[in-house]
Structure 1
């Protein structure tokens, strides 16, 4: 079974991303193709990149990097649940990506973006794609963008609009298919 990490990329304490990531985690578990681990980037609490060596060297001096490396390395695939701030993905998320190199390579990734506005964070996901492909990750063909996130968070958590579960299932199907493909030599 594919080990999937659902990473909530928001670090703001009151982020709408946490309830959304919980919902994504639940649907990924129901999907049946994955052993799912939720990962909250705020709980990881990485400092700004402080390693003396390049990430591509794989030489890590700090315990937080060793732990982050082991966590990312333990996954076969990812779903990133990412907010859009000022038209892009967040600096803490880019920082978390930049800490590592080899650990990301060849792994499928699905994107679920969100924003308070009408774009649903799609521009952030689009800006992230070149970074992911540069790392050698395998982005899913489909993605999900969720506009007006604030109105979708209620007392019971994330309240998905009609049809969203089906769209997320498509992203999960893409990630599962990519995870089954043999790695290119």
Structure 2
């Protein structure tokens, strides 16, 4: 093979590689900074915290009802009576009722965190509501102070405004002056005659 052929092939390979790089750059989607990145794939389970919180509140709400207490009492009484009065081979939890104790412990171990989670969510809601109330109270106080200043300014301005009584008194004073002038002029005309 001639050295020229080798150089040509190498140049062709180099040009082809750069063409592939350019095409890959064109094919690759542009990174947009105004859009959030897509979440990466993880092998961990994903869950919606709001959905979990709402479920925990429903469960906690149910655990605090008489219906739950009645069902729990009925279940325990049935369990105990079955394991005491049933024929031997049908009993699945003998007298110390270890399986019942385990089931109740398991139920309590799940109920306590769910109730705490529901209480924390309620506390967060209460905190947000208190903050909104505080902001509303501040607005109300600011509005009240503004209105108080405006009323005080109106009262001060009314001190300089002519009232009905003041106008009435002024008109009466003018009428008296006119009557006096007419009397003076009438007397002056009589004395001229």
Same fold (TM over 0.5): no
Higher relative contact order (CA 8 A, sep 6+): 1
Range of TM-score over shorter length: under 0.3
Higher percent of residues as strand: 1
